[in-house]
Structure formats: C-alpha cells, structure tokens
Structure 1
C-alpha cells in the first residue's frame, strides 16, 4: 500500500493564487500543484533558476487536499506612490521600473490581493516514481529543517505550526484524506483530489489549470480533478467497514 506524506497548512493568512487579472490577485479554495511544488523546492533549498528540477518534481507530485477549517476571505488594498525613476526588486534578479507617459506618475500604483484568513488545510501527497530523488523522506526532513523560511502562497503568509503532519498508508489520495479523522468541530469537509485517485458519492469532475512551466514562469495545460464533501457519519462507516 503506497505511503503518503501529510502536510497541514495553517496560518493567520494564506493565499492559494489563481489567475491574476490586471492588478487583482485572486485566490482559489485549494492550493495549486505548482504552489506545493514551490513550497517543497524552497524547503529543499533549490534556486528558482533550477527549472528542470522544479518541472520534474511537479511531474512526480500526486496530491489532494481537504479543508479542515473554513476561514474568511479578506482583501488587502496596496497603494504606493512611484516616480519615473523608482524601481522595484523582482525575482528575475534585475530592477523593474514603471512604463508609460508622464501622466501615469500622477496616480499611485494600486494592487488588490485576496487572502484566506484563519484557515486550515490537510494535504496528502506522494511521489511517482517513489525511488527517484528527492524521496518522501527527503521532503519530510526538509519541511522540518527547511533551507530557507517557508511561506504559504505569498511571502507574508508564514505557517503558524509544523507543516509536516505525519504519514498515511492508503490505496490512493482520496483514501489517504479519508483515513485521517475529521476535526471534532468540523463534521463535514470539502476535498479536492486528482482524477483516478478515488471517487466519492456526489463528487464532481473539474478541469484545473495549476501546473507551471517553470522555465517560462507561466501556467498552461489542464488536468482533471474531483471535488466533493466528506461527512463524519460516512467516514465512520467506511472506517468500520
């Protein structure tokens, strides 16, 4: 039976980024495959320029999530007065300036960023093939002893507790998510998992664009996932069976 690594994502603020439209940074309900890839790569100490490593880790990653505690959404409105000679730091390793005519500097630079506040998620993941480095054990060690500070989606979103949450032997991702007891105060949870990794009564299939091409920095392609709800009574029946 395959072994799955469990992650618990919990923080005062988290951001599971979706498609950015103009200056609006929207979020999704569940973390993207690319986000978890980046989180693990950061823990391992990989550099952003190591694109082949990132692509391969993303290809091997099989993961699903369940919302342990539904938080609230809030939006941060960021305003900055920037002049023609002002430049900002970027992840590309070179300064970025403002473009446009003189009139564009009369107004502030505005951005809107959405966040999940006081939310908690459980992630179940495995790597295929399992015997290729890095292994699940390598990831577990890196999460407890990360090479760099870790964040959940955006740099201000620091974890409020240990990320590594243990191991779970299970037939597939849905089985792993179902096998962990539900929180006492949460009799029903929402789940998302890859197509082909189990089915749940009343679930639905969606197409999700959440895989990043790490060399170009853009997302592309679609992968099928399933979403559904797990109730305490159903979980108890399956555990007894």
Structure 2
C-alpha cells in the first residue's frame, strides 16, 4: 500500500486546457499532467527558468482524477482594446504587453475561452521515488501556504477552497480514486463519477485505454509525446459496500 495525497479542484470556473488553436482556448475533460505539475511548482515558488526541476517533478508524478457530476461547459467571448502603455498581470512578476508593431493596437484583442462551470474534481497524487525532494508532505504544505497565488488552469480560475483534501492508502491510483470517493459526503448511491488514471495503475471491467498528450517539455516549453491512460465510471455503491 502506498500513501496518496488527495486534492480538491473546485471553482466557479475551471479550465483544464487543451491544444489552443489561434484565438480558441479549448479545454479537456481531465486535468493535464503538465497542469498539475505547474500548479505544484507555482505553490513551491519555482520560476519558469527551472525547467529541469519541472521536468523531474512531472516524471515522478503518478496522478488520477475523478469528476463529480453536475458540471457544464460554457464559452466566454473576450475582447479588450489594449493601448501601447497597457500592461497585464502575470504570475512570474513581469508585466505582459501586447506583442507586434503599432498596427496591432488598431483593433480589439478577440478570443474565445472554454470553461468548466461549477466543476469539482478530485485528484490523487503519488511520487516515485517518494523520498526524493520535493516530497508529498512538502507539496501539501506548499499548497496550503503557496509562494504565489494559485489558479486552476487559467489566471481567473481561483480555487474556492482549500486544495488539500486529505490522504488515502492504496495499492495503485485506481484504488486511491475509489478510496478518495469514500471521503466525499456528496457521493450518492448508484451515481457514476467519471475517472481517469494512468495505465498500469489498476483496471476495471469496461474501462477504455486511451492515449493523451498532456506532458510538457518545461525547457523548450512545448507539449509532446503520448501517455496511456484508462477511463471508466466509478460508482459510489461499490466503495461503500
């Protein structure tokens, strides 16, 4: 049995970002491995220049997620007329300005951004090797007292509560997700919660084996490669029996 950290990702708006196309900011159903890596790194106070540290943390992460039913998707149309001297806030301490020449200020900045509305997701984490820094205990402490403001996917998506939701013991990520569901008072009998976990971290009848591209090379800043995962509904009655 291994110790797993349970996180609650909850906010009025959440963005599990996918592959952006031009001015279209799409989302995926489950949080990317790179997103959780970045969330933890931000809490620890790492900067973007520490690419090797980010890559190593991402390599060590074993992560699964289960989604509470009831969320919906919305699309936000965003427009802003930016002047030459306008600046935007960023998490890395340097104001962001609009790129390009003088002609880029002639028209408004337009974009579409998808969001999950009223989503509550439960993420379970394990690190391999467990004893290497940062440890799960250090990560939990940093998430409770982050070095910088935290957000879930995009800067407007501020957590509505504490991220650390507890600890569970399980042989694998699939088992940890089942154990994490037991902790939730909102679980209803015979209700299916969608779940995703890494291939090789447990299985169940009827699960689907998929490939996802959600790892980032933190030195080059480019996403690439494929990671096999399994998806299936988890039913509350199975865990309370």
Settle same-fold status: TM greater than 0.5: yes
**Cα distance per residue 1:15-39 (max 9 Å; x no partner):** 0000000000000110000000011
Q: Does 1:198 align with 2:202?
A: yes
Instruction: Pick closer, same or farther for the CA change 1:79–1:4 going to 2, 3 Å.
Output: same
1:233 positional shift: 3.0
2:216, 2:137 → 1: CA distance?
24
Contact between 1:86 and 1:97, CA under 8 Å: does it hold in 2?
no
Write the distance in 2 (CA, Å) between the matches of 1:61 and 1:214: 15
Q: Which deviates the most, 190-199 or 141-150?
A: 141-150
Structure 2 spans left out of the alignment, 5+ residues: none
Contact 1:44/1:146 (<8 A) preserved: yes
Q: Give the one of 189, 200, 207 matched to 2:193.
A: 189
TM-score for both structures, normalised by structure 1 = 0.90
The answer for the alignment partner of 2:36 in structure 1 is 36
Q: CA deviation at 1:231?
A: 1.5
1: CA distance, partners of 2:211 / 2:64: 14
In the TM superposition, what is the alpha-carbon distance from 1:235 to its structure 2 partner? Answer: 2.9
Q: Is 1:126–2:126 an aligned residue pair? A: yes
- Structure 1 spans left out of the alignment, 5+ residues: none
Which residue does 1:214 correspond to in 2? 218
Cα distance between partner residues in 1 of 2:179 and 2:67: 14
Deviations 1:137-187 (A, max 9, x none): 101111111111111111111111110011111000000001231533472
What is the correspondence of 1:22-171 to structure 2 with a 5 Å cutoff? 22-82=22-82, 85=84, 88-89=87-88, 93=94, 96-99=97-100, 102=103, 106-171=106-171
CA deviation digits over 1:172-218, x for unaligned, max 9?
00000012315334721000000000112111011000001111111
Q: Is the 1:204–1:227 Cα contact (8 Å) retained in structure 2? A: yes
- TM superposition score normalised by structure 2: 0.90
